[in-house]
Structure 1
Amino acid sequence: MAVYGYVRVSTGDQVNGTSLDEQERKVRGVAMVRGEDLAEIFREEGVTGSRPLEDRTAGAQLLARLRPGDTVIVAKLDRAFRNAADALTKADAWRKGGISLVIADMGTDAVTENGTSKMFFGMLALVAEFERERILERTAEGRSAKRAKGGHIGGTAPFGYRVEGVGKDAQLIPIPEQQEAMWRMVEMRQGGASLRAIAAEMISLGHRISHEGVRNALAAAGARQSKELRGVTAVPR
């Protein structure tokens, strides 16, 4: 059974190695309190925490060395793991594999041992759920903001528009003849025409569109009308 330490700093963290030295001091202190001898401390310099442990040079070496009964000591949770979900997954795998994890900032007991582990994994699960919700929220906000500015959030351009640009610079540009056709669809629908009848009319006018495409175009036109009524934008008919 061996005890290993792991320390990491990103490029922005480094100040003459002080951060690494401070982490190593904490790791050695915990090992001493536990009455254990460190077999090796794996040092990761200039590596961002967004990279998983297995994709880091020293991290991969540590993982290759670990055997059941071994212990890993880190100064802080974020030094070894990308986020709470990553920590939850790896720490649980280590626990099941008989590998102990000690986090200096959380004390000298292994967080993967009975008694402490229930609280630790419960906390990580809550944080991971919070992180997922925030990511989804930020993604939705970004898509909504881009859509409001006329940006294209991906996929095939809706009827009435063409896409110009790629990636973050992609924009939806109105196609005049298709825009006119969209309002014709609205008039026909308000007059009681079926989706298939509207599609047939559009095809006769040279627009290749299915009845499902008509449904989507009408939904988009309805949303746009709603925005116009709220004064968000104004598109001439």
Structure 2
Amino acid sequence: MVEAVGYVRKFGKNGIDRPGQIRKIKAFAAAKGLEVRQIFQETDGSLGVELEARSAGEKLLKSVTPGDAILVTSLDRLFVDVSDALKTIRELIDLEIEILPIDMGINVATPPSLLILQAARTAELERHSLRIRRGKSARRTTGSFGGGKAPFGYDNADGRLVENPKQQSMIRKAIELHRRKKMSYRAIANWLNQRPGIYVSHVTVGRWIRAANPA
């Protein structure tokens, strides 16, 4: 039986009923013959924050393994905008992890589905995120941080992102381990997570390495 993990989060000014989302996820899994291993619940503010930068989102990405399926009631519960969706889905395709939005009923973590997603869902997701992106754009002009959890390697210093020297050193070491010792993203994430207070997903590690070695 294919194992699955679920993800739910609040949405909108008053928040959507998370138990309602959980019931839908469990019912969908039962209908598809999937075994739900865990459901991650985003309980803090996540509006405008990309999946890997959210508390439960980061744990979700760290927990999934090849062959898993991610269940969510709709893509806008999982991603903040099209950019967030496309880059994460591309990474999960490489890891052979499915994403099953219940309102769509199909796995969108496939190359053909990426094209469909980009064409069919762009308008809906962009309308939802327009206000958020305008706010972020205004804050970027002043050099301020848009909120949420600061990405690994940085600290939030009174609304501004500043480099964390210790974490930046770890990122450089992670890139070097992959380059010289050919360590996998997951092995590098496990190595980093042995340190107290460090919690990094293999998806995040992959993003560092691709940024350091652009095609």
TMscore range, shorter length = 0.5 to 0.7
CA distance in 2, matches of 1:104, 1:129: 16
Q: Which residue does the alignment assign to 2:84?
A: 86
Q: Which residue does the alignment assign to 2:186?
A: none
Larger Rg: 1
- The answer on 1:119 being equivalent to 2:120 is no
Q: Secondary structure at the match of 1:105?
A: coil
Contact 2:68–2:98 (8 Å) recurs in 1: yes
Provide, for residues 56-101 of structure 1, a one-character-per-residue CA deviation record: whole Å limited to 9, x for no partner: 1111111111111111011111111111221111112211221100
1:102 to 94, 100, 103: 100
Q: Which residue does the alignment assign to 1:202?
A: none
- The 5-angstrom pairing of residues 112-191 of structure 1 reads 112-113=109-110, 116-124=113-121, 126-127=122-123
Deviation at 1:2, TM superposition (A): 2.9
What code does the residue aligned with 1:6 have?
Y
Contact 1:49–1:78 (8 Å) recurs in 2: no
Provide, for residues 149-194 of structure 1, a one-character-per-residue CA deviation record: whole Å limited to 9, x for no partner: xxxx98xxxxxxxxxxxxxxxxxxxxxxxxxxxxxxxxxxxxxxxx
2:51 to 50, 53, 60: 53
Structure 1 residues 57, 117: CA separation in 2 closer, same or farther (over 3 Å shift)? Answer: same
Deviation at 1:12, TM superposition (A): 3.3
What code does the residue aligned with 2:96 have?
G
Structure 1 residues 95, 31: CA separation in 2 closer, same or farther (over 3 Å shift)? Answer: same
CA distance in 1, matches of 2:52, 2:114: 23
Q: Secondary structure at the match of 1:5?
A: strand
Query: What fraction of aligned residue pairs are identical, expressed as a percent?
Result: 27
Q: Which residue does the alignment assign to 1:196?
A: none
Q: Which residue does the alignment assign to 1:213?
A: none
Deviation at 1:128, TM superposition (A): 9.1
Runs of 5+ consecutive residues of structure 1 not aligned to the other structure: 143-152, 155-237
- The answer on 1:8 being equivalent to 2:9 is yes
Deviation at 1:117, TM superposition (A): 4.6
Q: TM-score, normalised by structure 1?
A: 0.48
Tell me the C-alpha RMSD between the 2 structures: 3.2
Q: Tell me how many residue pairs correspond in the alignment.
A: 134
Q: Secondary structure at the match of 1:106?
A: coil
